[in-house]
């Protein structure tokens, strides 16, 4: 009852877009896919959807590959948003959902529910080109979930949304997961991934550089930050073994260390100097981990 | 309803609801009705203007050896459209002056003997038929003068002009004889169909390509192909646009019929009523359908190769050139349907619909050859569409600058079947 990606490779000519990725997404879980631009996220999604054939390996959903016979089970929000600009919201959703095998009555009924949820009921008969970008994105999202898919693939669902709409969408995604939908999504915004995902994979040039449970990843990630607030000059800490970086802040310094053991050495060294207002060992943020692995470039 | 028909319905209804489609259909219908009635409309105008006017006048300057006989006979000649007047007041130069003053419209000078008449006509610069008619009139007068001189009686004259009995039979038992009527009918039908195929290729072909490119450029394509197999989608589009084309064609036929009914033109009505060759119409239908799939498949493929609607014209240019070449060959071929060039070219699928129809309509093509060539056309239509579907499948996910060679290569890698 899972999505299984087994040693999948995809090669376009000489270029390896995806190079031996394996992952398992449990039914009903939320899975995050991270990676800089061109890391192979969209290609992986397209292989899950059956739009591209893997060069090697296999992608299966509940034991068999996803073909056009089962597309009704999948919802997809592409990274490049697109709807028919000249059609109204209703015409649009009617066509797209009919392709997913829904009846007109059902479509209209659940379309109204979703439009109400996103407080855009008044746009039912408006053309897409007349809507603002944020509202177009809501319609695009509705188009990917209206048919109650078992597997929902969201490629950068939050990009280009304001904070209010991001929260609205996040709530919707969490509700869908609570209702049993399996969700795979990619994002550049690490905060969203940290909030939503239990498991994740980080891709770089088609390969997985990091994979597993979010908490485990953070815990096993050696590098940590030590935040120190003090009036003393703490520049000398840089010379302690195991310190990789030292950054001056308004209240003191933030020191990046290789492993937790180094924090002890730091503590004793500072204690000799005198009083400190704050000494805290922080878990690394996903952002730091991402930057470290992906080599910068976290934003589009 | 499965996804194929949903796509067909969506494509067709979206097109037919567009204002551009409705108006262009209505306007073409009006134009067709107008063209068919062009004669009536023009004569309605010219009748009002010219009915009161006298016919064109011709000043006849007779310099022949036998004293104005011909000029006088011309002056009393009532059958022609011209009013001949014996100009005795002066010579040719003065007659020409008189034309300038508006007294006459044209000048005719006669010289030499009656049997060896030399005629000079100063006529119209805009209408070549005027000179021909004048020539006929003079010839007729000359004949009657000469027969008079030879002292032949009416019986003898009648014997000379008595028509022979001429009957044409086919060479083979089941052959057909081409009469002027069947020739002209086939001529116009072939001309019409060749033109229709040309129009279909240009308008529907670019419609298909634009449709595909628009879906690509609005990026809705990726969403669609995640629900529908791109190949199903492509054929859904082809059939959907085809239905639009058929409805359009039907509208034009209706316009034609309405036009004929209004025009009340007996000749046209009799051609339409009696002489229409049903088998030729059936061939026309078959060739329009097959031609549509050959060119439509290509257009869908080309549309899938571009990323923006603006690039469509550039992409389908080669296809339009092909259609134009076929069109011009057919127009030239109308007079030489049995030439080797037309025969050979009619085997090429892109030219078959026009050229084979032309050969069937205008000449004699053995049945085996018709079956063979249509067979080739069907097979190549299928092959072209398989290839097009393959490129389409890869092309719809492809974005970038348009280039034929790279585009097709890239589309093949994208749609590569693995394992």
| Least reliable range by pLDDT among A279-288, B6-15, B373-382 | A279-288
Q: Is B15 domain-assigned?
A: no
Query: What pLDDT shows up at residue A152?
Result: 93
Are residues A208 and A232 both part of a single domain?
Answer: no
Total domain count, chain A = 2
Q: What is the pLDDT of residue B197?
A: 78
Closest partner CB to A84 (pick from B6, B220, B414):
B220
pLDDT reading at B51 higher than 70: no
Same domain, B191 and B323: yes
pLDDT > 80? residue B173: no
Average pLDDT, chain B: 81
Whether A51 has its CB under 8 Å from any CB of chain B: the answer is yes
Q: Evaluate whether residue B224 is within a structural domain.
A: yes
> Is B10's Cβ below 8 Å from some Cβ in A?
yes
pLDDT at A300 over 50: no
Q: How many domains does chain B have?
A: 2
**First-to-final CA distance of chain B:** 32
Of A182-196, B113-127, B128-142, give the lowest mean pLDDT range.
B113-127
In a domain, A45, yes or no: yes
The tens digit of pLDDT for each residue in A208-220 reads 888 888 878 887 7
A134 and A248 together in one domain:
no
Question: Within its chain, how far is the Cα of A50 from the centroid?
Answer: 21
Which runs of consecutive H residues, i.e. helices, occur in chain A?
41-49, 89-98, 104-117, 133-145, 163-178, 190-196, 214-220, 260-273, 286-294
Residue position matching structure tokens 């037309």: B342
* Residue A40, pLDDT score: 86
Same domain, yes or no: B364 and B224: yes
CA angle B215, B219, B222 (to 5 degrees): 90
Q: Quick one: pLDDT at residue A182?
A: 92
Assess if residue A126 is contained within a domain: yes
In a mutagenesis test of the B interface, which of A98, A107, A128, A144 is the best target, namely the one with the most B β-carbons within 10 Å?
A: A98
Domain boundary among B161, B193, B227: B161
Short-list B141, B145, B143, B123, CA closest to B132: B123
Partner-chain contact B418 A76, CB within 8 Å: no
Together in a domain, A98 and A247: no
Which of B115, B130, B161 is at the close of a domain?
B161
Binary contact (B222, A80; C-beta < 8 A):
yes
Residues in contact with A179: Cβ distance below 8 Å, sequence separation at least 6, in sequence order? none
How many C-beta atoms surround the C-beta of residue B381 within 10 A? Answer: 22
Answer yes or no: do B196 and B154 share one domain.
no
Please report whether residue B8 resides in a domain. Answer: no
A contact residues 5-34, partner B, Cβ 8 Å cutoff:
12-13
Residues A57 and A133 grouped into a single domain: yes
Q: Are residues B97 and B195 in the same domain?
A: no
- Per-residue pLDDT of A121-141, as tens digits, reads 899 999 998 998 888 989 999
> Tokens in use for B90?
């002066």
**Average pLDDT, whole number, for chain A?**
85
A115 belongs to a structural domain: yes
Residue B84 in contact with residue B38, Cβ under 8 Å? no
Q: Which is nearest to A110 in space by CA: A71, A163, A75, A147?
A: A147
Q: Are residues A255 and A125 in the same domain?
A: no
**What pLDDT, on a 0 to 100 scale, did the predictor assign at position A208?**
86
B185 and B79 housed in the same domain: no
Check whether residue A173 and residue A273 sit in a common domain: no
Measured between beta carbons, which residues in chain A are less than 8 angstroms from residue B220?
A: 82-84
Residue B105, number of CB atoms within 10 A of its CB = 17
Task: Report yes or no on B298 lying in a domain.
Answer: yes
Q: What gap in Å lies between CA B239 and CA A128, rounded to an integer?
A: 26
Instruction: Please state at what angle helix B3-17 crosses helix B19-36, rounded to 10 degrees.
Output: 60
- Band of the pLDDT at A109, cuts 50, 70, 90? very high
B190 closest CA partner among B316, B342, B295, B293 = B342
Mean pLDDT of A98-127: 91
Are residues A213 and A250 both part of a single domain? no
- Tell me, yes or no, whether A207 and A234 share the same domain: no
Whether B17 and chain A come into contact, CB under 8 Å, resolves to: no
The answer to whether residue B45 sits within a structural domain is no
Within-domain flag for A82: yes
In a domain, residue A294? The reply is no
B48 part of a folded domain: no
Give the number of other Cβ atoms within 10 Å of residue B134's Cβ. 24
Same domain, A29 and A155: yes
Same domain? For B156 and B189 the reply is no
ipTM value, please give it. 0.78
Can you give the pLDDT at residue B271?
57
CA angle A12, A67, A147 (to 5 degrees): 115
Does the residue A299 lie in any domain?
Answer: no
Q: By the 8 A CB rule, do B74 and B141 touch?
A: yes
The least confident of A188-192, B219-223, B235-239 is: A188-192
Residue A296's pLDDT is 47
Does B265 score more than 70 pLDDT?
no
Supply the CATH number for residue A11's domain: 3.40.50.300
- Residue B291, SS3 per DSSP: helix
For residue A183, the cross-strand partners are: A30, A152
Q: Is residue B176 part of a domain?
A: no
Mean pLDDT of A27-54: 86
For residue B409, what are its two tokens? 């290569």
Interface test with A, best of B223, B225, B394, B398 (most A CBs within 10 A): B223
Average pLDDT over residues A33-57: 86
Range of the domain at A273: 222-283
Whether the CB of B266 is below 8 Å from some CB of chain A: the reply is no
Helix locations, B218-275, DSSP H: 221-225, 230-263, 266-273
As a whole number, mean pLDDT of residues B123-136 equals: 80
Q: Over the stretch B282-314, which tens digit does the pLDDT of each residue have?
A: 888 888 888 899 999 999 988 888 888 888 888
Position A295 in a domain: no
User: Per-residue pLDDT for B379 more than 90?
Assistant: yes
Cα distance from B317 to chain A (closest Cα, Å)?
26
Are residue A160 and residue A231 in the same domain, yes or no? no
Residue B31, in any domain of the structure: no
Q: Quote the domain boundaries for residue B127.
A: 55-161
B97 and B204 co-located in one domain: no
The Cα-based distances of B1 to A3, A108, B10, B15, B236 in angstroms read: 29, 18, 12, 20, 13
Residue in this structure with the two tokens 């034991």, named with its chain if needed: A63
Verify that A161 and A277 share a domain, yes or no: no
> What is the CATH classification number for the domain harbouring A227?
3.30.70.920
CA distance A83 to chain B (A): 5
Contact between B131 and B140 under an 8 Å Cβ cutoff? The reply is no
- Name the percent of chain A lying above pLDDT 90: 20
Residue A198 is assigned to a structural domain of this protein: yes
Per-residue pLDDT reduced to its tens digit, A163-177: 888 889 999 999 999
> A78, B14: Cβ pair inside 8 Å?
no
Residue that finishes a domain, picked among A218, A247, A264: A218
Task: Tell me: do A244 and A146 sit in the same domain.
Answer: no
> A17, A47, A84, A141: best mutation site toward chain B, by most B Cβ within 10 Å?
A84
Over 90: is that where the pLDDT of B154 sits? no
């Amino acid at each position: 009852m899972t999505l299984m990606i087994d040693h999948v490779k995809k090669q376009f000519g000489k270029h390896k877009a995806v190079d031996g990725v394996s992952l398992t997404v449990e039914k009903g879980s939320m899975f995050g896919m991270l990676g800089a631009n061109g890391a192979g996220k969209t290609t992986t999604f397209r292989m899950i959807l059956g739009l591209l054939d893997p060069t090697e390996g296999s992608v299966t959903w509940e034991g068999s590959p996803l073909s056009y016979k089962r597309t009704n089970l999948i919802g997809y929000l592409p990274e490049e948003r697109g709807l028919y600009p000249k059609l109204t919201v209703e015409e649009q959703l009617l066509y797209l959902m009919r392709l997913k095998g829904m009846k007109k009555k059902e479509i209209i009924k659940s379309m109204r529910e979703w439009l109400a949820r996103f407080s855009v009921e008044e746009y039912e008969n408006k053309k897409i080109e007349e809507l603002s970008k944020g509202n177009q994105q809501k319609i695009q999202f509705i188009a990917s979930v209206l048919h109650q898919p078992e597997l929902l693939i969201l490629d950068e669902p939050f990009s280009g949304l304001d904070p209010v709409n991001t929260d609205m969408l996040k709530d919707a995604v969490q509700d869908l997961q609570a209702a049993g939908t399996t969700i795979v999504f990619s994002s550049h915004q690490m905060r969203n991934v940290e909030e939503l995902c239990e498991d994740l994979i980080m891709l770089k040039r088609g390969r997985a550089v990091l994979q597993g449970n979010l908490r485990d990843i953070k815990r096993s990630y050696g590098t940590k930050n030590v935040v120190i607030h003090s009036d003393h000059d703490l520049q000398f800490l840089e010379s302690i073994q195991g310190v990789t970086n030292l950054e001056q802040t308004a209240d003191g310094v933030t020191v990046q260390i290789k492993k937790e053991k180094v924090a002890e050495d730091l503590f004793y060294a500072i204690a000799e100097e005198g009083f400190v207002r704050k000494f805290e060992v922080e878990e690394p943020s996903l952002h730091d981990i991402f930057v470290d692995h992906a080599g910068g470039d976290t934003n589009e | 309803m499965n996804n194929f028909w949903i796509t067909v319905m969506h494509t067709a209804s979206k097109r037919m609801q567009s204002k551009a489609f409705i108006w262009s259909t209505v306007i073409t219908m009006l134009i067709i009705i107008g063209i068919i009635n062009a004669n009536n409309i023009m004569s309605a105008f010219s009748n009002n203007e010219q009915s009161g006017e006298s016919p064109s006048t011709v000043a006849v300057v007779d310099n022949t050896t036998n004293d104005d006989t011909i000029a006088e006979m011309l002056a009393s000649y009532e059958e022609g459209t011209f009013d001949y007047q014996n100009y005795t007041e002066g010579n040719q130069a003065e007659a020409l002056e008189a034309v300038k003053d508006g007294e006459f419209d044209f000048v005719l000078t006669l010289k030499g003997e009656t049997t060896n008449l030399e005629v000079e006509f100063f006529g119209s610069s805009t209408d070549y038929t005027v000179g021909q008619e004048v020539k006929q009139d003079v010839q007729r007068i000359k004949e009657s003068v000469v027969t008079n001189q030879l002292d032949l009686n009416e019986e003898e004259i009648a014997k000379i002009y008595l028509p022979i009995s001429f009957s044409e039979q086919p060479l083979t038992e089941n052959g057909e004889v081409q009469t002027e009527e069947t020739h002209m009918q086939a001529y116009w039908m072939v001309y019409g169909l060749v033109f229709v195929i040309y129009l279909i290729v240009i308008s529907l072909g670019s419609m298909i390509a634009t449709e595909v490119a628009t879906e690509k450029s609005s990026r809705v394509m990726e969403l669609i192909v995640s629900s529908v197999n791109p190949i199903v989608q492509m054929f859904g589009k082809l059939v959907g646009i085809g239905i639009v084309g058929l409805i359009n064609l039907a509208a034009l036929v209706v316009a034609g019929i309405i036009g004929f009914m209004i025009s009340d033109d007996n000749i046209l009505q009799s051609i339409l009523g009696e002489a229409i060759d049903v088998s030729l119409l059936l061939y026309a239908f078959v060739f329009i359908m097959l031609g549509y799939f050959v060119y439509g498949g290509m257009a869908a493929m080309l549309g899938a190769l571009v990323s923006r609607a603006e690039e469509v014209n550039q992409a389908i240019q080669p296809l339009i050139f092909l259609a134009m070449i076929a069109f011009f060959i057919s127009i030239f071929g109308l007079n030489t349907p049995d030439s080797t060039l037309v025969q050979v070219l009619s085997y090429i699928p892109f030219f078959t619909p026009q050229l084979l129809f032309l050969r069937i309509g205008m000449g004699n093509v053995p049945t085996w050859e018709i079956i063979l060539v249509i067979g080739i056309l069907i097979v190549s239509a299928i092959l072209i569409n398989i290839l097009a579907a393959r490129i389409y499948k890869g092309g719809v996910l492809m974005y970038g600058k348009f280039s034929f060679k790279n585009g097709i290569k890239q589309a093949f890698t994208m749609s590569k079947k693995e394992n």
